[in-house]
Structure 1
């Protein structure tokens, strides 16, 4: 009985870790989208210039 309970617990932890990984990936993708939008809206933003541009 104890082994089954431990297995369920580890399954739950594993599932939760997957969810957290998905959330982190989504947040990362969102931040990339926002950076791209900023780049389009403010092409002369100082943190985006690499010397070649303007």
Structure 2
């Protein structure tokens, strides 16, 4: 549940703050929890988009 909330916050920070988006997406993707494959792929995609924006 925590990872999903972090992922949604990363999506909300999309254009406003790429550094925050990157931090949130990395935390969601690599946190101490196990994500379902779809959610993990989405978190990794957000991380990649944040890297492009920074």
TM-score w.r.t. length of structure 1: 0.35
Which of the pair has the greater relative contact order for Cα pairs under 8 Å at 6+ separation? 2
Larger radius of gyration: 1
| TM-score normalized with structure 2 length | 0.35
